[in-house]
Structure 1
Amino acid sequence: MKYSHWIKKARKTKDRLKKESPESSTITKKQISKDSSISIRELYKTQKWENLIKIAKQSKGLFEEYDCIKVQKKVIKLGESVLINSGDAHDEDYIGTIKQIISIKEPTTLKLICLCRVQWYMRKSEVIKSHPKSNEWVSEQELFKTKHEDYILAQTVIHSCQIFSCKEYVDLDEIESTVYFNRLSWDMEKKQFQGLETIQKFCSCQQPVNPDRKYVQCDSCHQWYHLECVGLQEGELNDSEFFCKLCL
């Protein structure tokens, strides 16, 4: 790269440095700054964040890392889970956990490019494409953790959200739209759930619990059943006892 060429040009022997005038040394430094500035601008336009970070780390004073940052009146903290603008092409916003917060200074304008490294979660709408039958037991507020990470512009973060365990989620008195739960991981390469075999199954249909659906408990064996699986409707529930077919 042209940037590397100028770095090599600056590494001269002591004899060459003695002959070099202060003016020529200044010109070399300015050229390095100019080339890195051009590279940063071009990489920003093409959103090649990994390459942009590598370039910034090569020049002193261009790269900074933070635990917390304020961008467009929004405070972003390391380790928090956030909603991320997915653009006009998607109905749902993305969700991820902030793993790193950095800024890169554009050398000529001194403007900061703020980036966040995010570990992604998958939504129900994304996983049921590969596993349509999971639609019955996956909640609308359920998320699936992945190992996939990307850099995003900090300005695309909308606001923070909360992610609980399934047990914590079920025990909540009120559930807002920015409250989610996670109990499984998702393998993005194999497009399959991880840990599904470890989750307790309920009802005669043997599915993981779905907090969105209604259940009734057998007064004898204390097992939980979907209303539709035992032929009941929500309006039919009362204080009378219920016994499943196995206990009748």
Structure 2
Amino acid sequence: MAKSKAARKVLDSYVIKGTHKVVKAGDCVLLRASDPGNPPYVARLEKIEVDGRNNVKVYVRWYYRPEESMGGRRQFHGAKELFLSDHYDIQSGDTIEGKCTVHTFKSYTKLESVSAEDYFCRFEYKASTGGFTPDRVAVYCKCEMPYNPDDLMVQCEACKDWFHPSCMNLSQEQVKKMDHYVCPDCDSSGQQEGDKRQGNGEGGSQLEDSKTWPTDSGSQDGEKKSRNSHRVFPRSEQKPEPKKRKR
């Protein structure tokens, strides 16, 4: 006689093995990597099930680190940056090591301190094609690079653009001591030119649309104005290697 398939039941929550931490659908979790030398995987729980033998399975949507994407890690990617992928999977509940928080890009830039369990996501990533959503970028400074929240930047009071100290031949110590900053272009050409660059004319539009990097989502909701120019976020010393997830 054929054995009947064990009935599955959807659980509202699950207690992480060996801890008292409770997770539920919608939470972000850390899952044990297949290689013990690698950092844990990060995923969002979609559903938790238990079968008749009390085996817990979790349905997850993976986050990718920049170095795991087709384009690899780029200069503007933060150390704690993740991409929400379209890669779904099923894992044993026993592989969950802990909980974490994946912030929006805007809320991450406002954190006073960043813990080991804090990450941020500003892009969705299509694993099969390497495509990003959104697919364009806002750029800053004369180097025209997207904003990396790990890097110190200073805002010009005239044109309102943001600049890396090194690009302006300044040290971070000099920038931190400044009460005001005016970039060389505005300092030489005056406020009128600064207002022209800040406004809605073609110059500003072309700057933000000139590259086809993934778009900085913060640029669409006033993040330029709200960013603290003297905030420096800690950068992780460990750079995880690309990994393969268990299927």
TM-score, reference length from structure 1: 0.68
* AA matched with 1:32: A
SS in 2 for 1:72: coil
Q: Residue 68 of structure 2: which of 126, 139, 157 is its match?
A: 126
Q: Which residue of 1 aligns with 2:51?
A: 104
CA distance in structure 2 between the partners assigned to 1:98 and 1:194 by the alignment = 21
Q: Deviations over 1:85-119 (max 9, x none)?
A: 012265221101100100122xxxxx321100001
In the comparison of the two structures, how many residue pairs are matched? 184
CA pair 82-71 structure 1, distance change in 2 beyond 3 A: closer
CA pair 184-149 structure 1, distance change in 2 beyond 3 A: same
Contact 2:16 2:96 in 1 (8 A): no
CA distance in structure 1 between the partners assigned to 2:183 and 2:135 by the alignment = 26
Q: Residue 140 of structure 1: which of 65, 79, 85 is its match?
A: 79
Q: Deviations over 1:165-197 (max 9, x none)?
A: 111111111211101111111111112322131
Pairs within 5 Å for 1:33-72 = 33=3, 36=4, 55-56=5-6, 62-72=7-17
Q: Which of structures 1 and 2 has the larger relative contact order (alpha carbons within 8 angstroms, sep 6+)?
A: 2
RMSD value over aligned CA atoms?
A: 1.9
Greater percentage in strand:
1
CA pair 96-163 structure 1, distance change in 2 beyond 3 A: same
Q: Residue 139 of structure 2: which of 194, 201, 204 is its match?
A: 201
* Larger radius of gyration between Structure 1 and Structure 2: 1
Q: Which residue of 1 aligns with 2:2?
A: 32
CA shift, 1:79, in A, is 1.1
1:188 matches 2:135: no
Any gaps of 5 or more consecutive residues in structure 1?
1-30, 37-54, 57-61, 106-110
CA distance in structure 2 between the partners assigned to 1:79 and 1:234 by the alignment = 39
Q: Residue 101 of structure 2: which of 146, 151, 162 is its match?
A: 162
Aligned-residue sequence identity (percent) comes to 25
Q: Residue 56 of structure 2: which of 93, 110, 114 is its match?
A: 114
**Structure 1 residue ranges (4+ consecutive) displaced by more than 4 angstroms after TM superposition:** none
Any gaps of 5 or more consecutive residues in structure 2?
189-247
Q: Deviations over 1:210-238 (max 9, x none)?
A: 11011111132121011222222212222
* AA matched with 2:183: C
Q: Which residue of 2 aligns with 1:177?
A: 116
Contact 1:124 1:140 in 2 (8 A): no
Contact 2:16 2:97 in 1 (8 A): no
